[in-house]
Structures are given as C-alpha cells and as structure tokens.
A and B are shown apart, each in its own frame.
Chain A
Amino acid sequence: MSGRPYRLPESAAQGSRIDRSKTVSFSFDGKNLTGFAGDTVASAVLASGRKVFGRSFKYHRPRGVIGLGSEEMNALVAVGEAGRKEPNLRATQVELYNGLVATSQNRWPSLEFDVGIVNNYLSRLFPSGFYYKTFMWPRSFWESVYEPIIRNAAGLGEAAREHDPDTYEQMHVHVDVLVVGGGVAGIAAAEAAAASGKRVMLADENAVLGGVADISVGSIDGKPQGDWVKAKAAQFAKAGNVHVLTRTTVVGHYHHNYVLAAERVADHEPSLLDKGAPRHRLWKIRAGQVIVASGALERPIAFANNDRPGIMMASATRGIVDRYATAPGMNGVIFTNNDDAYLTALKLHEAGVGVARIIDVRANASSELAEAARKAGLQVQTGAAIAGIETSGGGKEITGVKVAPYSKSRGRVVNEEKVACDFVAVSGGFNPVVHLWCHNAGKLKFDETIQSFRPDRHNDPIMVAGAANGTFDLAGCLEEGYATGEAAAKAVGGKTGKLTKAAAPGGGAGSVEAIWFAPATGKYNEGNKHFIDFQNDVTAADLELAQREGYESVEHTKRYTTLGMATDQGKTSNINGLGVISDATGKKIPEIGTTTFRPPYTPYSFGSIAGTKKGELFLPVRRTSIYDWHIARGATWEPVGQWRRAYCYPTGGENKKDAINREILAVRNKVGLLDASTLGKIEIKGPDAGKFLDLVYTNVFSSLKVGKCRYGLMMNEMGFLMDDGVTVRLGEDHFLMHTTSGGADRIAQWLEEWLQTEWTTLKVFVTPVTEQWAQFAIAGPKARKVLQKLDGDIDFSEDAFEFMSYREGTLAGYPVRVFRISFSGELSYEIATPSNFGRGLWDTLMEAGASEGIEPYGTEALHVLRAEKGFIVIGDETDGTVTPYDVNMGWAVSKKKEDFIGKRSLSQSFLASEGRKQLVGLETKDPNDVLPDGAYAVAEVKPQPPMKMIGQVTSSYWSPTLERSIAMALIEGGLSKMGETVSFPLEGGKVVEAKIVSPVFLDPEGKRQDV
C-alpha cells in the first residue's frame, strides 16, 4: 500500500461537511492519521490512501468501503479502547474526533497478512449450508472441536471484556406524528404535520438533516436543495411542537405504533460524557401516526469479484467526493443499469478525478444526465457489463476491469476488453428502505419500474413517503412528504394549518434495467465470486446451489445460505438475492416473495438496552429499616425476591457455618433477634371477612376468636400449596394476614382477584400493609425476660399472654403489635412497630437483651431452627406440585367446609391416588453426612444411571442442637416407610444411606414454646 493521499484540493464544490481549518488526529490499526473536523472514519482513512478496512466473515477477503452511511456492510470497525470499545461500527457512520481509536476486524495477525485467507482458497469446502454439512458428526465434537474453531475463525467483531465506564439511559415520549428520516420527503412531512399544531418528532440517523439532498439532482424553489434543508432545520428548532433527533436511528416498529429509536448522544464528542451525558439514549416512542421517509439504498451488481476494495456504490462515491473532498482513486470506471450513476461520473469529472468509462448494461442511455456526461467528454459504453476485475497485491489494489458486451439472455462472455482503472463506482438501481414498514407485518409489492419492493398494505397507523415509497424524483418526494404530513396530522385530530409548500421542477427518476448477474470470464465459480451478501459472504453460486438442493422457499434459502442475516438484514442484498433465485428458478421475484426484515434496522448497543440498569441499579433492591445495622454487624445477604435479608452474622473471623451454629444455639439456649420485616402483611376487613378467609385457606378462620392467631395453609385451584402464614383476628370483622416474604404482593393480588372476579358479592376490603411495619422475632428461653425489662403496657407473663394470641400496646415508648407465635419451636414473640421506628426498637431490644446474651440471627439459622421442628417452608418443601396431604398436613385441611380454593382438585384421581411422594424426615447413617439439597433417593443403587428415582431431599442441614445432620425429603409412600433405609447416590459415586423418620426432630410435644 502506497499511502498516497486522496484528499482533493480545496474548492467550493467539494468538502461540504469538512472544516479544513480543524485537523483531527486519530488512529486506525495503531497507525496515527489525521483528518478534518466533519470527517467520518471512512472518509479520513480513504483520504489517507488506505482502501482495505477489514476482512470478510467467511473467506477473509480484503474489503473496503462500499457505502455512505448505515448501510455499509464491509467497513466495520471497532472504536474505542478497553471498556469503551464497541465493535461492528460502520466506518462510514463514525464521526471523527480527536483521539479516536479505530481498529479493523476479522483479521489475524494483521490486515495486510491474514491467516484466515486460506478459507478463500479452500472455499469449495464452504458451500451453502457448510455448517450443516461439515459439522454434523459426531455430536460431541460440537462443543469441543467445531464450535471453538468456528468462533475463532468466523464472526464479526469482538466485544469489550472490561467494565464499560459510560452511562446509558432510556426515554419515553408520546408524539402525535413521528417522521422517520430527515431527507426531503421527511422534512416536508414533518413541516406539514407540524403546521397542524400537533406534536411532531423527526428522527434521522445522520448528524445533520437532509438525507442525500446535497448530492442529488434538482433544486427546490430555484435554490440548491441544501439551502432549503438548512432553512427548515432552523424553522424546526424554533418550533415548540417539533423535536428533531439527529444521530438517532429508528431501529424497530412494534404493535400499537411503539417505536424504538437509538440515539448516539456522545459518540461523536466524548467530552460530553464528562458532563453527565449518557453515551447512548434509547427512545421508546408511542406515536399516533408514523411516517416512514427512510429513503432508498443503492444496490450493488453481482459481477465477478465485486467485493474488491475500491468498488463502491456510485452514490457513495460522489458522497465522499462532495462531502469530504476525498477521491476514491485517480481513475474510475462507472458501472450502472440506470441514470443516477451518470451524476456520479459528472461529479468525479468536475472534481478532477478521472473517469475512464461509463459502462451501462442498458442498450440505450439517453437521459439528460447521460447526454451531459457525453457532452463533458466522458466515454459511455452501453449494452456492456463488467466481466472481471484485475487486481494486484492479493486483491487489495484494482488495476483494471474487463468489459464485455451484455444482453440479458446471453450467459457467456465474448469480446472482452480491458479498461485500466483504480476504482469502480457501481449502481444496480435503488431499493426503498422498507425495513421499518415490515417490522410489524406491513406488506410489500414488487414494482417493475424500480425493479424492487415497495410498501403496500399495513394494519397500523403508518404511512410512507418519498424514496422509501419508490418515489425517486424530487418533486414527487416533496409532494408525498407534504401529503402524508397533512394526512397524518388530520388522522390524529389536527386542524389544517398554514403551510407554504416548496416546489421542485418535475423530472423523471430515469429508467432502470434489472441485472441480477453479470457473466464472468473464465470457469464459473473458479476464482470468480459474485457476492450478493457481502457481510455474510454469500455468493450467487451459493444461492443457485441452494435452489438445486431444493431450498425452494426463500426463507429456507435464507437460513441455509445465511443470506440477509445478521446486522445487514438484507439492506443491500435482498433484491439481488431474489434476482439470482429468480434467474435460477425461472420464477418471477413477486412469486418468490421476500424474507422477513426483522428489527433492529441497525444494531444498537447493549448499554442502551440496559439503560440505567447497571451496577447498584442493576436490580431494585429492597431494604428493611434495619439494613444499615445488618451491614455494620457484618451480615452476609440472602436475596429474597428483591429484598436483602441478613443470612448470618459472622464475627471475629468466624466462617458462615460457625456463625449459623452459634446463632441457632443462642436461640435454643438464650435468646435471638430476627429481622422479619419482609413478611407479607395484609389487613382484611368487612362483614364477610371470616367467610372469605374460609374460602382462601384450607382451614377454618371464621371460628377464630378475636385477639387470637392461627396458622393457615393456602392452595391454588389445582390443590397445590402456594403460601402459608399466621393470621390474626384484630376485631369481629377485621383480620391481619401474614404471608411469606416472597408471597406478599402475589397473595394480596390473589385475594383481590377472587373478590373482584368470583365472590363479587362478599363485602371485604383488602389492604396490603407490608411496608408499614418493621417486624422482629425475639425467640429463645430468655425472650420473655428481655421484654419484661422494657417499659410498656403489655403483660408478657405466661398466663396473661398465652401462646397464639395477640396484644397491642407500647413497648419502651414504641407503638407495637405483639404476636406470640413461634417458627423456631422456642418461646417466641413477633413484635411489629411502624417502619420508621424499626431501627429504634431494634436497638432497644438488642440493648435490653445484652445481659441475657441476645444475638441477632439470620435466615439460615431461622431455616435450621424450623427444620429441627419439622416446619415446612413454601418453596423448599413445596415446588408447586405438592398438596397439604403430601406434606402430611391433612390436619389443616377442613373436612367441614363446603368449598375453598383447591378443595375439589384434592379429590381429582391423580392427586388422591396412592404412591404420591410424602414428606418425611431423614437421619443419615453417618450423622456427619449432610445430604445436598435436592439429592435423589433411588429405588436401587446401580453402578451408573439410569436409576429409578423415588424422591428427593427438600431441606438438609447440620443441626447444632442435635449435633447431627437432619433432612426432610419427599419420598414415594414415605409415611408408610418409617424406619426404612433409603439410598442417595451422589455426584462422584458416594452413596449416602438414611433412615426415614418423623420430620419433627426436636421437642415433638411442643413444650419449649409453651412456657
């Protein structure tokens, strides 16, 4: 590579986007380069004389810039370093800033010398469906051999491995009219819609409005299109009902006109990040009407080796000349099937870049532009096509093209002629950008005039205008823009406003002749690749092979060949692919149909999808009022839903196991304090409250006395346990229900649902009050003594405050509700105080208990304490398929009540049958063996699986109280197997034997809690 500069000399006609007074330094693949403010990475690198930007996906062929904007599928680069590195950015879209670091992708060890190029010479091993064909067998090779190879050799860029230091955010907005695309049609649509006074949002992916107005034919109101664009942009900025989003790509259209748009806020100016700007912002827009004015994209022509660096789209060629004063080369050949490319020839000529020849596949070219080209002295050859490319440096430098006469029916190349050149500008016609139209099931129709698909029907409030609609002439774009803008405003109830419409001279978009394949010199597919999908390295031969192999449906062909997949989503490849299939099958394109365009239109960052959800905001975390105390005490956390509960409190170098054992023994021997604030609390009141509770619980609550507590079981309609807890009767028609921590919201909604939808005549109000109360369990033989030390109006003596009853009053000045209930089997009180007093009361209790040796205990100690007593935990002993009978709690299922939720299901044959798993206790033969949670019990131990499973461990702990392991398990017919031994084969071959026992390991008479 010579490194010769391609920047054109300063002139008024070229370089509209760059500011030559501001030099910008950046690096590409480690080489320090300079460009000008306003350059893109593509234009600046091209200006430096480099044409190769990367290697292709499958064959690792050198690739250069092909397009002008987001449609670029070759020149993908990674920008940024370390955590800020973002792969797969289109070099044509990346705006230059000082210090930008860009690296090419898909090359190893370097862009100039790439080991993967060997794939190019082995390409006969990589036909369509090569993944399916090559890597089929043996299965086990997938993980260990094939996948790593494929992952190393193929794929697009590599993601950053470091933490991304930037912030991202999302924004929601409702607008009356959303216009997608800020070209001439989009601007006209936005202006017309805004004239009604309605709220209009105009989104465009480029840094400035105008689309390709600046590089297209025609004037508006007698002035250059660019002047009109600038005037309108200024008008929008002043309007209070128009919001313009630039650098914002509308990436998806969904149901009910929900639209996602990705704004690149700080990519072009990283200094904004320091001021707190998010790097990207994802807009979630709800629009009354959407107007798609997304323009059209030029399509390539499939000729032999049409992927060589230096072959660009004709419109992109004049774009880099006009906007960035960058020449694609010294001497070019134009290859076209339409009139538009003649403008490129003229612009190149005007800029002093050589135009060796215009090669036009059409038999005649007599448009105004063609005549102008001839008049300028440019050589026009009609009825001809490029049959081959000559290159040097391993395909990296073009030295010339082979031109041969062309007519549609002739497949062979005769009379080829060599034309020397160093770049080629290609135009195969234009495809309306219909992606957004199609995201939510919009239909397309094939238009013979433009040889492409354009929008047809849509069920949503969405319209299309301009080139996106296949309208390529300027007057037509303006007209459609205004018309859709007015129609959209009217559809959302806007009144007709004042609007002065601009005018453009009429004038044809010119003719286009379909060419899907240009025959090549030499043997077919031997060194000649006609690329259709550059990004996925899909060639015409691949598509033809797929047809021969019977992939008739275009959707099957897509998946078999990977045509139009990945980030490209068929932007440039779709129609050409269909054209090749059409030629191969003899079917017309509309008969073949098109593949589905899926969101996103272009990729957008994971950061913007995550938005603020990172770091400590990754998940909403719920804190009890004791949270800070837990931290200060060195608690480790157990997440329970979004709550953080203290798991245990290791002190003085203890490990967790020691801490848990210490906490358990403190409760058994002295007194412990547990933060149980997360328990669900629901106030239930009304004349039918008792009747209602009888319907939602398996047991009876209408008979509960005021001031008393009762443990209740809740099933769903299928008869499976879903929650449990203690409910208290506060008054004749007033109850307070406790639910599990995880069930708090769910159960409150569950109760509401039944009241609103089934038992609609019951007079009951349900108000969740979980967070009003901080709630603590003070448990252990000294619990009463601690409470009696504190001032208050509650008599804690055994006779005055009996087990399973409730008191309200004050304790040490705090308003409290006290429930004498026990989940540990010890003498225990649960004390609730309003949350803002929670920490104060906690500190008071800890202080009062100090002399009795009070210790805080966490959720793990709580679990062991209850397991020693054989109490179940919903979600441990139950898994959504467990009935009260399965856990041996038939005593809590009322026989008298006619109806309650789940009752009838309990007698369904499959729930009432013998042999269901039943809850039992387990004592391992070796008391030091603690079974793993979930371990399987088998009918018979065999040297290797399969073994018949007869049950599983639901809870398993070391019990410091009993100084042995304890476990609970659901075992088939377990209740009738008391005393029998079951075997648990563990991972690694160890088999643990355990005796089936009662799950109540400690104090079966319940003496400890009733003192």
Chain B
Amino acid sequence: MLIVHCPVCGVEGDETDFHCGGQAHIRRPASHDPHNITDEEQRDYLFMRFNPKGLHFERWRCDRGCGKWFHAARDTASLEFKGYYGITELPPKELQAQATGQWAEFFKARAAETGATRPAKKAAKTSAKKASKK
C-alpha cells in the first residue's frame, strides 16, 4: 500500500484514496490533427505503453481529495515516488535527466519539438481514409 501525495491540494494518503491513470504524456493524435492520423499512430496512441523498470511517469488522480489529476514520477522497482508535477506540465528538468530508456528518448524528442525545429506534419496516409465509414 503506497502513500501518495497530491501536489494540487497537498493531501497525503493511502493509495486507495487515489486513482492511477497509467502512463503520462501520451499525446492524443485527434486533438492535434484529426484528419491525418494513420492506423498505426492511432494504434500506438491507444495501446502502446512504456513498461520501464526504474523511473516511470504516470498520471494520478486525487480521488478522495480535491479530485484533480496530477503527474507523478515513480520508481517501479523501489516503488518510491520521486516527484510530483502538474497535469499539464512536463517533469521538472532534474527528473527528466534521471529518465532512462524510452523515457529519455521521449523527453529528448519533446525538447526538440518545442524548439525551433518542430517537425513538419506528416503527409496524410491513405489507409486512414480508406478505412473511414461510409
């Protein structure tokens, strides 16, 4: 039974007072460009998740407190919470720096994107259109 801390209202409580909402920072393709989403992109958005041993970034909800969602960085091996941050935020730099594997790559990519070199939109793939309902 973990102890979780809510960065929004400051409450601290048992895991059962909270709700874990799985992996953080998943981008919903339809919120950005609803017309140009490949089947593969949609599949990855729905189903593909990181499963690191070590530092992981998750969404949590202060279920029995303020009801707000927040982000938490948690070590999946020691189950230690390494930090909490806002639901619309990326982790603080020092937590990003501790990330390894897929998460390290992810933050690197996000940093590149938010810089001047934001990649151009991908060309529309035909498969998505073909599959659309009549």
Contacts and interface: CB of A to CB of B under 8 A. Distances in A.
Contacts of B101: none
Contacts of A286: 3, 14
B114 interface: no
Given A255-B79, A258-B1, A753-B61, A909 B131 contact: yes
Nearest to A912: B131
Contacts of B80: 459
A611 to B, nearest CB: 14
Nearest to A441: B78
A905 B46 contact: yes
Contacts of B88: 760
B127 interface: yes
Given A718-B46, A903-B30, A904-B30, 17 more contacts: A255-B79, A256-B3, A717-B45, A757-B87, A760-B87, A760-B88, A885-B133, A898-B34, A899-B30, A903-B34, A905-B46, A906-B133, A907-B133, A908-B43, A909-B39, A912-B132, A912-B133
A908 B39 contact: yes
A756 B2 contact: no
Contacts of B21: 753, 757
Interface string B1-37: 1110000000000100000010000001111001101
B98 interface: no
A885 B28 CA distance: 23
Most B CB within 10 A of own CB, among A749, A758, A907: A907
A752 interface: yes
A749 B45 CA distance: 21
A906 B37 CA distance: 12
A907 B128 contact: yes
A256 B79 contact: yes
A459 B75 CA distance: 12
A890 interface: yes
A256 B1 contact: yes
Contacts of A551: none
A695 to B, nearest CB: 9
Most B CB within 10 A of own CB, among A717, A757, A898: A757
Interface in A856-914: 885, 890, 893, 898-899, 903-909, 912
A753 to B, nearest CB: 7
A627 interface: no
Contacts of A256: 1-3, 79
A796 interface: no
Interface residues of A, number: 29
A767 to B, nearest CB: 11
B18 to A, nearest CB: 13
Interface string B28-68: 11110011010100110110000000000001010000011
Contacts of A801: none
Contacts of A898: 34-35
A2 B132 CA distance: 90
B28 A907 contact: no
A254 interface: yes
B69 interface: yes
25 contacts: A255-B2, A256-B1, A459-B80, A753-B61, A756-B68, A757-B69, A759-B31, A760-B87, A885-B133, A893-B133, A903-B30, A903-B34, A904-B30, A904-B34, A904-B37, A904-B128, A905-B42, A905-B46, A907-B128, A907-B131, A907-B132, A908-B42, A909-B39, A912-B131, A912-B132
A867 B88 CA distance: 45
Contacts of B35: 898
Interface string A738-750: 0000000000010
Most A CB within 10 A of own CB, among B21, B29, B30, B42: B30
A254 B79 CA distance: 11
A392 B68 CA distance: 74
Given A459-B78, A885-B133, A909 B3 contact: no
A717 to B, nearest CB: 6
Top-5 shortest CB links A-B: A907-B132, A258-B1, A899-B34, A912-B131, A907-B131
A529 B34 CA distance: 75
Most B CB within 10 A of own CB, among A256, A893, A903: A256
A833 B101 CA distance: 57
A909 B129 CA distance: 10
A890 B132 CA distance: 13
A909 B87 contact: no
A256 B81 CA distance: 10
Nearest to B8: A756
A609 to B, nearest CB: 14
A472 B37 CA distance: 69
Contacts of A756: 68-69, 87
A556 to B, nearest CB: 24
Contacts of A255: 1-2, 79
Given A885-B133, A905-B46, A254 B127 contact: no
B75 to A, nearest CB: 10
Contacts of A890: 133
Nearest to A893: B133
Interface string B79-115: 1100000011000000000000000000000000000
Contacts of A757: 21, 59, 69, 87
Contacts of B131: 907-909, 912
A909 B1 contact: no
A759 B28 CA distance: 11
Contacts of A909: 39, 127, 131
A254 B3 CA distance: 11
A904 B46 CA distance: 11
A758 B31 CA distance: 8
Interface in A752-779: 752-753, 756-760
B57 to A, nearest CB: 14
Interface in A166-183: none
Contacts of B68: 756
A116 B42 CA distance: 64
Contacts of A717: 28, 45-46
A899 B46 contact: no
B67 A752 contact: yes
Contacts of A459: 78, 80
A758 B1 contact: no
A759 B78 CA distance: 34
Contacts of B87: 756-757, 760
Nearest to B21: A753
Nearest to B31: A758
Nearest to A913: B131
Given A758-B31, A903-B30, A753 B69 contact: yes
A231 to B, nearest CB: 36
A912 B29 CA distance: 19
Contact of B31 (A749, A753, A885, A899): A899
A281 to B, nearest CB: 18
A455 B127 CA distance: 60
Contacts of B1: 254-256, 258
A914 to B, nearest CB: 12
B49 to A, nearest CB: 14
Interface in A699-745: 717-718
A675 to B, nearest CB: 29
Interface in A896-951: 898-899, 903-909, 912
A909 B132 CA distance: 8
Contacts of B31: 758-759, 899
A893 B127 CA distance: 21
A459 B133 CA distance: 55
A848 B61 CA distance: 48
Nearest to A257: B3
B1 to A, nearest CB: 4
Nearest to A905: B42
A951 to B, nearest CB: 21
A760 B88 CA distance: 8
Contacts of B132: 907, 912
A728 to B, nearest CB: 24
Nearest to B81: A256
Contacts of B69: 753, 756-757
